[in-house]
Each structure stands twice: as C-alpha cells, then as structure tokens.
Structure 1
Amino acid sequence: MSNILSGLWDYAKPAVSEGRFRAAMAGASSDDVLILQTQIARTYGLRHDFAKARELLQSIELQVASASPEAKVRWHLEMGRTYASPAHAAESQSPEAREAARLHYLRAFELAKQARIDVLAVDALHMMPMVDTEPAAQLDWDLKAIAYMEQSDQPDAKGWEAALRNNVGHAKRLQGDYEEALRQFRLSLAAHERKGNAYAVRVAHWMIARTYRDQKKFDDAIAIQLRLEQEWAAAGEPDPYVFEELEQLYAATGDTARARLYGERLRAARAAPQ
C-alpha cells in the first residue's frame, strides 16, 4: 500500500493528510483500514498530539495482531514515533521514552525484514538516531540504513536515499567534517531533484547553505538563502528558517541593519497563525 499512501501524504500539512486518509477508508479492505489508521495517528504526532496518536494506535492493537505484516510493521513504527521522533521537544525525551521507542522500532525492523518490506525496514532503521542520540551512534544507524537500502532490489526502498543522505550530512556537519557533509547534502539534493519534490529541494539547498555558514563562506550562504526567500515567497509559504539564517549571516558579516530586518521577519513569521 506504500504507493497509495505516498500519494495521500502531505507531511507539511498533516491535517490535510488526515482528511485524505479518512476519505480513503471508505470502501477499503479491513487490513487497509488499519494501515490508514496508523497514518492518521502519525498526523496527530506531526501536530504534537502524541497522546491522541497513541490512543488511536492502542484502540486497534488487538486487530493489528491478526492483520498483515505491513499493518503490524506500520503499527510498531507509529507507536515508536509517539515516544521519540523529530517532532518531540528535547525535554520530553526521557530514557523511558527512548527505550519504549527502541522496542517498537526494532520490532518494526525485524517484522519488515522477515516480510521483505524493505521500504519499512529502512524507515525503522532511520528512526533509531532519535533513540541513540550521541552523534557517533546516530551516524552508525544512518550508515546501517543506507547499507540496507543499497542492498535492496525494491525501488521504493531506494526512495529513502534523499532523506538518508541528508541525515548523514547532518551528522557529519555536527562532527565538523564539512566537506563530507556537503558531499552528502549534494547527493540528497540530487535525489530530491530526481523525485521532483520542490519543497524538499529547497530544504536541501538550505542544508548546503547552512554548512557554508559553518565554513564562514558567508557570501555563498547568503546568495542561496536570498534565492530561497524568493522561492518560498512565490510558493506562498515564507520560511522562518530562511529568515533565521539570514539574520545570523548578516550579523556575522557586520550588516546589523539587514540582520535586524530579518530578525523582525523571523518574529513575524513565527507569530503568524499556522
């Protein structure tokens, strides 16, 4: 069902995605209904309502126990994401929460591996850096996910390349290995361009510009961020992260007037209703 779900998802608009999943439930098989419910739970998590996500997942747990391997894998993946995910605030990530996430992610991986659902096996591996948060451990999990993806002969598993390369680039940037970070971010960018996802392409360019700031290549970073500012504006979605970077970049170059301008734009963007 992966291809169907990917056509329904808009990760930037989880409420819209929820509506699509609910509409798709009409006339769906009982197994597909369970899978769709796991994705509805994920939309709650993206909106930081982890309790509601967990409540929904717990309500279908008994049905999932006798459902297809895909339904079981997706249930464990989404239950794991209610405990540890990029959407969680750092202060919520207690050792107990991370351990609960670990159990679900590793169970999802084993079930997906047994069922040869490689796209979900890679998904489970790529979530483990949310559990083991030391940079070296995160990088190790990212590399394991890439290795699993590369050995797969399933095209949808290959679709993980952009995200995984981004994760490795991020880990390398944190380690101060900026050249390798840039290499990985450029591979991620190329993968996103092949998929034709304009949103993701802009994010990939942002990651490259962020690394340029680390390298003190301020002019190169500013040029990219100014272009991104225009592209996000044209899309009708001004990006606070671009404003934040431009504030930092202009401050670093001593242009206090422009730094102040982008600081004001950043505050206005964050104050705007979502």
Structure 2
Amino acid sequence: MNDFPELHTLWDYNDPAGTAVQFQALLPKVEASDERGYHVELLSQMARTHSLQKQFDDAHQLLDEAETMLTDDMIVPKMRCLLERGRAFNSAGEAARALPLFHEAFVLGTSFAPQADFHTIDAAHMMAIAEPDTAVQLKWHERALEMAEATPDERAAGWLGSLYNNLGWTYHDMGNFERALAIFEKALAWREANHQDKPGTIRIAKWCVGRALRSLNRLDEALAVQQALLAEFADSERKDGFVFEELAECLLALNREDEARPYFAQAHAELSQLGWLEPERLARLQQLSAG
C-alpha cells in the first residue's frame, strides 16, 4: 500500500486520543491517494479511537463513511468495519447488536485464510467477550486459541497472550480459580518466552497470577507477587493503582488492616483518575483507606 504505515504500528490503546491525532494527520495523504481499501481501514481505526473514548456517535459516523467506499473484493477492510461497528455497540452496552457483526466478520475471514487470520481471530475473541452465555464464551475462546496456535501468520499468532488472558478471566469469573491460575501462568510463560511486554503486558500477566492466587486464598504467595511488582516501580515515577489495590486486598485478607490502609489510599488516588472504574469500587477503596 504505497508508503503508508501499517495501522497497528500507530496504535497506543492506552492513549486513543493521541492515536487519533496520528490517524488524522495521515488522513489527507490517504484521501489524495487511490488506496481505497487502506482508506476504509484508516476510517475504521479512527472510529475505534472514538469508541474507546465512548464517543459512539462519532464512531458510527466514520464507519458509515467507510462503508460507502467498500467493494466486494475488500475482505479485510469490510471485516474491520464490522469489527469496529460491533465494538462500538458492545462498548455502549448493546451486545445483542454487536454479536451478529462479529459473527459476520468471523465467517468472512474464514473464507479468506490465512490473509485475514489476524482479524478472524479478533472476531472470535470479540464473540467470546460479547456472548452472555459462559459455555458459549468458552467455545469461542477455544476456537480463537486453536486458530492462533495453528496460523502461519506471525502477527496473528501474537493473539495468544491476550487469548490466554481472556480465557483465564472467563474461568475466574466462573469461580474455577485453579483453572484460571493455570491459564494465567500459561499466559505469563508465553509473554516471557516471546518477549511480549508492550505495553507492560508481562507485568499485567504477573498481576493476573497474583489475583488468582488471592482467589485461591494462597494469600502469602499472592502478596509476594504484588510486592515484587511494586518493587519494579521503585526506581521510576510510574505508579500502578491496580498493584496498590491488590496489595491492600491481600493485606486486608491477612488481617493486616493498618498496613493495608495506605495502599488503599494510593489505589484510590491513582484509579480515580481513570474515569471508567466502577463508582462502587472507588467508594470501597476510599472507605477502606480511611479505616
């Protein structure tokens, strides 16, 4: 596609507004080119930056524009529009409207393997996220994992870390903490073996292991995981509210309330800045920080 960059290289999912600036700067050059498929994909990713900021009307407007340019041969661009339309609906709490779009993208991608494997796996993983039935969720997780383990596409195989993580949380939500821990440990091993630490995914994988250990009441081990993560930030200005929160929860469960209190306070200070955490969770952190 001429000299245009691969769109995924411009993404910072922790900063959708900043990513939108990069996409917007690229747009005039793309509009002046004859790369219509790339143009559609760019608009779909611009829409995603809006979805992540809960600007759903803006997202749908961009997707409407993108879809007017689609032709029958644009398999991947069409898949990306379906995926982003589905994500916009799902993030807005309309999973029932999202699921048919994810399924359509999945079916379309399976007819265009392996070129579309990355986005086909994406569609399967979104089916698992949006599907309300836990048993069906597991089937989609497993389907996505099978594809990621079998694909010849190196980038598509890179889904494995996220898929292990999602599957681990599905088991955790089901109360199957032993299985969740095994999957989280597999995710961590895969991240470390593949040097996958962008952005901080190895730390996140360690955190998940620690969280499952707490659910299993293996509290000393869980606390040690979070203390090790805290130590990783000792020589930097970076802070992680989720690590503070887990440290506090482990200490509280160990009946070390006085030690837990300042970590609850630090967790509240950091996590209240996110803008999307559940109010009840923030209120609990604040209450426990006060004793």
Report TM bin, short chain.
Answer: 0.7 to 0.9
When the two chains are superposed, the root-mean-square deviation of aligned CA atoms in Å is 2.3
List per-residue Cα deviations over 1:33-88 (Å, max 9, x = no partner): 2211111111111122222211221222211245621110100000000011xxx3
Mean Cα deviation higher: 243-252 or 175-184:
175-184
Matched pairs, number: 265
Residue segments in structure 1 that go unaligned for 5+ positions in a row: none
Which blocks of at least 5 consecutive residues in structure 2 are unaligned?
276-291
Q: Distance in 2 between matches of 1:143 and 1:165?
A: 10
Does the residue aligned with 1:60 lie in a helix, a strand or coil?
helix
Distance change (3 Å), C-alpha of 1:244 and 1:73:
same
TM-score, normalization: structure 2? 0.83
Question: What are the within-5 Å matches in structure 2 for residues 1-274 of structure 1?
Answer: 4-28=6-30, 29-65=35-71, 68-84=74-90, 88=91, 93=93, 97-116=94-113, 117-193=116-192, 194-198=194-198, 199-232=200-233, 234=235, 236-272=237-273
Measure how far apart 1:118 and its partner are: 0.7
- The question of whether the paired residues in 2 share the 8 Å contact of 1:109 and 1:122 is answered with yes
Q: What amino acid does structure 1 have at the position aligned with 2:219?
A: F
Letter in 2 for 1:102: L
Q: Residues 116-158 of structure 1: CA distance to partner in whole angstroms, max 9, x if unpaired?
A: 2111100000001232123222112101111222332222221
- For 2:47 and 2:236, locate their aligned partners in 1 and report how far apart those are by CA, in whole Å: 28
Deviations 1:103-128 (A, max 9, x none): 11011112211222111100000001
Q: Computing the radius of gyration over CA atoms, which structure comes out larger, 1 or 2?
A: 2
Give the TM-score normalised by the residue count of structure 1: 0.88
Seen in structure 2, the aligned counterparts of structure 1 residues 265 and 169 have a Cα distance that, compared at 3 Å, is same
SS of structure 1 residue aligned to 2:152: coil
The SS at the match of 1:180 is helix
User: Residue by residue, what CA displacement relative to the aligned partner does 1:12-45 show, whole Å, maximum 9, x if unpaired?
Assistant: 1111211222233343323212211111111111
Q: Secondary structure at the match of 2:29?
A: coil
SS at match of 1:64: coil
Q: Summarize the Cα distance change of 1:190–1:24 in structure 2 as closer, same or farther, 3 Å threshold.
A: farther
Q: Which moved more, 1:179-188 or 1:113-122?
A: 179-188
**CA distances 1:220-249 after superposition (whole Å, capped 9, x unpaired):** 111111222243565644222212212211
Q: Is the 8 A contact 2:36 2:69 kept in 1?
A: no
Q: CA deviation at 1:209?
A: 0.2
Q: Deviations over 1:166-224 (max 9, x none)?
A: 11111222333333222211221123221431511111011000000011111111111
Once residues 140 and 178 of structure 2 are traced to their aligned partners in structure 1, the CA distance between those partners, rounded to angstroms, is: 21
Matching residue's letter, 2:178: E
Q: Which amino acid letter does the alignment assign opposite residue 71 of structure 1? A: P
